[in-house]
């Protein structure tokens, strides 16, 4: 199996514009002398991991140091050409054996009310200091929205995050006196922005760490009377809201619970109300091909996570609600830039992260996660959108 894994990897490399350098000096890959360099440190160990589980093994091999980017190669740049050709790299005959080697998503990661709390805690309760080490000062952990008339690298990340927040509040029609429900508090940035418009905000989260810091930030902003922060599952919310806003939370819902999630939004939305939903998206056929398989991201970063397609959202809305998407604003390239900024800040501030008790394996896992995600958006394999939902 290891030898077969090597044959398959070498054939894949020969179709990608990179240079893969083996310890003995052998070079594979379709890239020229200036192409990104992939350095194989312990190729036999890497092939063993890939033979055991291709989807998980490549990330575990990076965590273990079996492969790395070349000295002058950025990891995100290296991974992008692989992401761009992901659907074409493996021959069709080999894809037929996918079910034999792939693991199914463990039942413990189901997003039941208890499971969702555990899944969210596994990521968001790691450490507020960890996230502060690489996010912008506003602690916004979702794609920024850059000014399309100015080169992205020259723009300030916090300003781009503010632009994203203000746009989705505009999209949902948030203003003075608006009753707002936010599903997924984060560290309180959007709730504070909505309250500063004069809205009355109810914001829910399943992360105890986020709730504590968000409450502190709301109090420091003098907005406690306008913002009600709760440690609560979306399924337990009652009331009626003029606007519902949720930024990159649907990815944590799980396909099994999409109908219940959207039925809940429909139930809570007041007549004439509007929903602003920011969602990471992938093509529908890719979602269908991967939705039941257990990947590296689910094992090490986002347990219980699944990225939807726009088609899946539309179909779920049509079958289970009176809601419809009537605006779709895409900005996937902005997410690639956001992730690049986060990764570079994470690497630069690694000593502060390590002081929180995280080890070298964790460092490599998160560096790979951020670069892997960046490559997905840079290649177009992934996208992000602000969707406006209203009743038909």
Pairing state between β 227-231 and 27-28: unpaired
For residue 304, count other CB atoms closer than 10 A to its CB: 25
Q: For the residues of 247-286, what is the DSSP string, one character each?
A: ES-GGGT-GGGHHHHHHHHHHHEEEEEEEEEEEEEE-HHH
Please tell me the predicted confidence (pLDDT) of residue 289: 87
Q: For the residues of 311-363, what is the DSSP string, one character each?
A: HHHHHHHHHH-SEEEEEEEE-HHHHHHHHHHHHHHHHHTHHHHHTTT--HHHH
Cβ atoms of 279 and 250 within 8 Å: the answer is: yes
Is the pLDDT reported for residue 102 higher than 70?
A: no
- Order of strands, edge to edge, in the sheet holding 323-330? 227-231, 200-205, 179-183, 241-247, 269-282, 382-391, 323-330
Percent of the chain with pLDDT over 90: 87
Is the pLDDT reported for residue 99 higher than 60?
A: no
Tell me which architecture the domain covering 109-391 has in CATH. Answer: 3-Layer(aba) Sandwich (3.40)
pTM of the full predicted structure?
0.95
Please tell me the predicted confidence (pLDDT) of residue 87: 64
For residue 337, count other CB atoms closer than 10 A to its CB: 22
Q: Output 89 or 348, whichever has higher pLDDT.
A: 348
Please state the rounded mean pLDDT for residues 242-268: 98
Across-strand partners of 39? 21, 68
Please state the rounded mean pLDDT for residues 66-75: 97
Please state the rounded mean pLDDT for residues 197-217: 98
Is the pLDDT reported for residue 89 higher than 70?
A: no
Tokens 């009355």, residue?
200
Is the pLDDT reported for residue 86 higher than 80?
A: no
Alpha-carbon distance values, 125 to 80, 187, 207, 304 (Å): 30, 12, 6, 15
What is d(CA 282, CA 166) in angstroms, rounded to the nearest whole number? 25
Please state the rounded mean pLDDT for residues 271-280: 98
Please tell me the predicted confidence (pLDDT) of residue 91: 59
Please tell me the predicted confidence (pLDDT) of residue 106: 85
Domain ranges of the chain: 2-101, 109-391
Q: How confident is the model at residue 292 (pLDDT cuts 50, 70, 90)?
A: confident
Please state the rounded mean pLDDT for residues 295-309: 96
Please state the rounded mean pLDDT for residues 204-220: 98
Cβ atoms of 80 and 340 within 8 Å: the answer is: no
What is d(CA 233, CA 28) in angstroms, rounded to the nearest whole number? 50
Tokens 């939807």, residue?
308
Eight-state DSSP code of residue 127: -
- Three-class secondary structure of residue 24 per DSSP: coil
Please tell me the predicted confidence (pLDDT) of residue 92: 58
Pairing state between β 27-28 and 19-21: antiparallel
Please state the rounded mean pLDDT for residues 266-295: 95
């Amino acid at each position: 199996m290891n030898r077969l894994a090597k044959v398959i990897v070498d054939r894949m490399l020969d179709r990608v514009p990179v240079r893969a350098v083996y310890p003995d000096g052998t070079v594979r890959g379709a890239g020229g002398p200036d192409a990104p360099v992939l350095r194989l440190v312990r190729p036999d160990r890497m092939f063993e991991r890939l033979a055991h589980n291709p989807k998980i093994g490549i990330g575990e091999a990076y965590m273990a140091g079996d492969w790395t980017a070349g000295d002058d190669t950025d990891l995100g740049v290296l991974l992008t050409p692989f992401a761009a050709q992901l659907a074409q790299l493996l021959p069709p005959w080999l894809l037929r054996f996918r079910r034999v080697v792939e693991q199914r998503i463990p039942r413990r990661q189901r997003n039941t009310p208890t499971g969702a709390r555990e899944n969210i805690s596994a990521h968001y309760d790691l450490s507020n200091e960890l996230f502060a080490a690489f996010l912008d000062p506003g602690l916004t952990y979702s794609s920024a929205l850059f000014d399309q008339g100015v080169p992205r690298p020259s723009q300030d990340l916090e300003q781009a995050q503010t632009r994203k927040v203000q746009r989705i509040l505009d999209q949902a029609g948030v203003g003075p006196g608006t009753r707002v429900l936010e599903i997924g508090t984060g560290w309180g940035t959007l709730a504070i922005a909505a309250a500063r418009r004069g809205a009355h905000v109810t914001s829910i989260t399943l992360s105890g760490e986020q709730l504590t810091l968000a409450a502190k930030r709301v109090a420091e902003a003098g907005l406690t009377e306008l913002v009600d922060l709760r440690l609560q599952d979306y399924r337990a919310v009652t009331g009626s809201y003029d606007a519902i806003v949720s930024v990159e939370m649907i990815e944590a819902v799980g396909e099994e619970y999409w109908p219940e999630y959207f039925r809940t939004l429909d139930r809570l939305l007041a007549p004439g109300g509007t929903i602003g939903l920011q969602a990471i998206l992938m093509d529908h056929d890719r979602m269908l091909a991967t939705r039941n398989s257990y990947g590296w991201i689910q094992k090490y970063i986002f347990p219980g996570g699944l990225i939807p397609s726009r088609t899946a959202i539309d179909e779920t809305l049509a079958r289970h609600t009176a809601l419809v998407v009537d605006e779709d604003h895409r900005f996937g390239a902005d997410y690639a830039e956001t992730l690049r900024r986060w990764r570079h800040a994470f690497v630069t501030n690694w000593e502060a992260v390590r002081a929180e008790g995280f080890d070298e394996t964790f460092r490599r896992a998160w560096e790979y996660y951020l670069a892997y995600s960046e490559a997905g958006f840079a290649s177009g394999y992934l996208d992000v959108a602000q969707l406006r939902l209203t009743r038909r």
